């Protein structure tokens, strides 16, 4: 097993480098003595920035408490916590983009003397057995209520593009110990007293698909709110480890069904996810109220800018200079209406010359943003008062 890292730099599109490593420890940073030393004139990379190690039959990446952090597939890593690496992953450190490829050992060509002594599939079979042992161990650690669905979803996603060929049929036959795997007999399960009978396999598969579809809609709704607030409202939103818009449906289902997170941390995760979903549900209310208020306030402001009475009052307060003399405009008959008419024409002309973006951002958008945020905040407080918790799901008394 070996690891291939392909490096590029944002500041130099022509710069490329490929490094190949075995199963040794790979420390990444500015130090020249490191296995993967990265030049950094901008001081974005720490001396001891990150580490890649081979353990438990896989490569893993750990951020060593670096100053500017490490990202894996656009998600910032928690310091001193290992994250598994697989082919296709992308590591971001400073200005460097590092593509990961995990390379399996290629089978050696058999000579005539060793063809009957060495099995060409021996190494792959051993790796498969190790992977199955890891899956089995993890399966028994998960909750019995969800592990079957979670494993089925993971396999369905990973093997979506794989057709059942002769090789797959042989593997399936061996794994279940049957000669015919096309229609395996259903295992009869007797439900315990007080429990519901298990779902049939077809219904279980359908439940997993419905769960995945539901999660997709939820995440799509959260992403649309996040994008609206960032692009339209100009809000800078932090990207945290539990930000739902960063998850795929499969990743979110796997995280929710996992039982390896401590109870306190799990409750914190659920509270943060719940708050994001509640914010997304309040989004349509904010849009409706923002639209209503922006139309009312925008039209009012436009009418105020072209109000003839207001313009006449402004003109009447002005003075007409005739040499050293300053004559109040209101003292000259017909001067105020004529001057007000000219000012009104100029005001209308200026409004027509404004571009749509300038007109919208100056007149309509401020009222919309204010009403949108006020509606979200008010609804959030009402829900918190009704449930006895704040909008993050924390108890008021704590």
Is residue 67 included in any domain, yes or no?
yes
Instruction: Based on the fold, state whether residues 331 and 260 are members of the same structural domain.
Output: no
Q: Max Cα separation, the chain? A: 120
Tens of pLDDT, residue by residue over 275-311, are 888 888 888 988 899 889 888 888 888 888 888 888 8
Tens of pLDDT, residue by residue over 49-95, are 999 999 888 999 999 999 999 999 999 999 999 999 999 999 999 99
Contacts of residue 219, Cβ cutoff 8 Å, sequence gap at least 6: 244, 245, 247, 248, 249, 252
The residue from 52, 80, 103 where one domain ends is: 103
Does residue 257 have a pLDDT over 70?
Answer: yes
Does residue 192 have a pLDDT over 50?
Answer: no
Give the lowest-confidence range in 16-20, 249-253, 288-292. 249-253
pTM of the full structure: 0.41
Does residue 203 have a pLDDT over 70?
Answer: no
Is residue 321 included in any domain, yes or no?
yes
Give the lowest-confidence range in 71-80, 226-235, 388-397. 388-397
Average pLDDT of the segment spanning 321-329: 78
Is residue 263 included in any domain, yes or no?
yes
Instruction: Based on the fold, state whether residues 252 and 301 are members of the same structural domain.
Output: no
DSSP for 180-198, written as a single string: --SSPPPPP-PPPTTSPPP
Does residue 199 have a pLDDT over 60?
Answer: no
Q: How far apart are alpha carbons 289 and 336 in whole angstroms?
A: 41
Is residue 333 included in any domain, yes or no?
yes
For residue 148, what pLDDT is reported? 78
Is residue 200 included in any domain, yes or no?
no
Q: Which residues pair with 9 in a beta bridge?
A: 12, 96
Is residue 34 included in any domain, yes or no?
yes
| Domain housing 19 | 2-103
Q: Residue 97 — pLDDT band, cuts 50, 70, 90?
A: very high
Looking at the 3D structure of the chain, how many domains does it have? 3
Is residue 43 included in any domain, yes or no?
yes
Average pLDDT of the segment spanning 146-165: 69
């Amino acid at each position: 097993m070996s690891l291939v890292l392909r490096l590029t730099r944002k500041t130099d599109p022509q710069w490329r480098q490929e490094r190949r490593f075995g199963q040794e420890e790979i420390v990444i940073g500015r130090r020249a003595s490191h296995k993967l030393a990265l030049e950094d004139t901008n001081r974005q990379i720490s001396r001891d920035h990150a580490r890649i190690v081979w353990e438990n039959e896989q490569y893993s990446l750990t951020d060593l408490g670096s100053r500017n952090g490490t990202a894996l597939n656009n998600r910032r890593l928690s310091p001193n916590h290992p994250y598994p690496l697989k082919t296709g992953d992308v590591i971001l450190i400073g200005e460097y983009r590092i593509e990961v490829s995990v390379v399996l050992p290629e089978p050696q060509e058999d000579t005539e003397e060793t063809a009957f002594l060495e099995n060409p599939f021996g190494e792959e079979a051993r790796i498969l057995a190790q992977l199955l042992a890891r899956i089995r161990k993890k399966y028994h650690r998960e909750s019995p209520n969800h592990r079957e669905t979670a494993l089925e979803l993971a396999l369905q996603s990973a093997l979506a593009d794989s057709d059942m060929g002769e090789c797959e049929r042989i593997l399936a036959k061996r794994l279940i110990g049957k000669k015919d795997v096309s229609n395996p007999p259903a295992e009869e399960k007797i439900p315990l007293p007080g429990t519901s009978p298990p779902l049939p396999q077809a219904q279980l598969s359908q439940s997993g698909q419905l769960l995945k579809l539901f999660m997709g809609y939820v995440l799509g709704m959260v992403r649309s709110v996040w994008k609206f607030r960032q692009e339209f409202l100009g809000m800078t939103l932090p990207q945290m480890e539990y930000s739902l818009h960063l998850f795929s449906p499969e990743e979110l289902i796997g995280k929710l069904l996992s039982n390896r997170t401590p109870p306190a941390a799990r409750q914190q995760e659920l509270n943060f996810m719940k708050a994001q979903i509640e914010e997304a549900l309040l989004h349509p209310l904010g849009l409706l109220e923002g639209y209503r208020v922006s139309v009312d306030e925008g039209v009012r402001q436009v009418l105020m800018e072209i109000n003839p009475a207001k313009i006449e009052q402004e003109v009447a307060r002005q003075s007409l200079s005739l040499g050293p003399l300053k004559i109040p405009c209101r003292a000259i008959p017909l001067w105020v209406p004529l001057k007000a008419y000219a000012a009104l024409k100029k005001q209308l002309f200026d409004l027509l010359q404004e571009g749509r973006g300038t007109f919208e951002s100056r007149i309509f958008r401020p009222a919309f943003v204010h009403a949108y945020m006020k509606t979200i905040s008010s609804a959030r407080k009402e829900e918190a008062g009704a449930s006895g918790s704040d909008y993050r799901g924390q108890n008021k008394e704590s």
